[in-house]
Structure 1
Amino acid sequence: MGKTAIILGATGLTGGLLLEQLLIDNRYQKIILFSRKTCGITHDKIEEHLVDLLNLKAQKDKFIADEVFCCIGSTKAKTPNEENYLEIDFGIPVMAAQLCKENNIQTFIVISALGADKHSKLFYNRTKGRMEEAVLLEKITNTYILQPALISGNRSEKRMGEDVAKIFMKLVNPFLLGSLSKYKSVHPINIASCMVFLANNLYPEVRIPSDEIKKLATNK
Structure 2
Amino acid sequence: MAGKTALIAGATGLIGKELLQFLLSASEYDKVIAIVRRSIGIDHPKLDERMVDFDHLDQYSEIFAVDDVFCCLGTTIKKAKTKDAMWKIDVDYPVTIAKLASSKGARKFLLVSSMNADPDSPIFYSKMKGKLEEEIKQIPFETTAIFRPSLLLGERDEFRLGERAAAAIFTKMPFLFGGPFKKYKAIEGRTVASAMYQVAQKDTAGLNLYPSEKIQEIGG
Q: Which moved more, 1:70-79 or 1:54-63?
A: 54-63
Question: 2:64–2:106: 8 Å Cα contact kept in structure 1?
Answer: no
Give identity over the alignment, percent. 34
- SS of corresponding position for 1:73: coil
**What CA deviation, in whole Å up to 9, does each residue of 1:27-69 have, x standing for no partner?**
1100001001111101110101111123222211121111000
Deviation, 1:173, is 3.3
201, 205, 217: which one aligns with 1:215? 217
Distance in 2, Cα, partners of 1:58 & 1:171: 49
Whether contact under 8 Å (1:94, 1:134) holds in the other structure is: yes
Moved more, 122-131 or 193-202: 193-202
Q: d(CA) in 2 for partners of 1:158 and 1:33?
A: 25
Quote the offset at 1:131 in angstroms.
0.2
SS at match of 2:80: coil
Relative to 1, partners in 2 of residues 1:42 and 1:122: Cα closer, same or farther, differing over 3 Å?
Answer: same
Determine if contact 2:147/2:210 at 8 Å carries over to the other structure.
yes
Match of 1:26 in 2: 27
**How far, CA to CA, are the matches of 1:33 and 1:125 in structure 2?**
27
CA apart distance, 1:149: 0.5
Residue 119 of structure 1 aligns to a residue whose secondary structure is coil
1:36 counterpart residue number: 37
The amino acid that maps onto 1:214 is Q
The two structures, once aligned, show a CA RMSD in angstroms of 1.5
In structure 1, distance between residues paired with 2:191 and 2:102: 27
Normalized against structure 1, the TM-score is what? 0.94
Partners of 1:172 and 1:143 in 2: CA distance: 35
Once the two structures are superposed, the pairs formed by residues 69-84 of structure 1 within 5 Å of their partners are: 69-84=70-85
Taking structure 2 as the reference length, the TM-score comes to: 0.94
Structure 2: gaps (5+ residues): none
Q: Does 1:198 align with 2:189?
A: no
Output the amino acid matched with 1:175: L
Q: Which of structure 1's runs of 4+ aligned residues deviate more than 3 A?
A: none
Structure 1: tracts of 5 or more residues without a match: none
The separation in 1 between residues aligned to 2:204 and 2:177, in whole angstroms, is: 25
Counterpart in the other structure of 1:145: 146
The amino acid of 1:38's aligned partner reads S
AA at the equivalent of 1:61: E
- CA apart distance, 1:146: 0.3
SS at match of 1:77: helix
Q: Distance in 1 between matches of 2:132 and 2:55?
A: 15
Counterparts in 2 of 1:78-157, with a 5 A limit?
Answer: 78-157=79-158
Query: How much does 1:177 deviate?
Result: 1.7
Structure-2 separation of matches of 1:92 and 1:172: 37
* Partner in structure 2 of residue 6 of structure 1: 7
The C-alpha deviation readout for 1:99-133, integer Å capped at 9, x for no partner, is 12211111000000000000000110000000000
Task: State how many pairs are aligned.
Answer: 218
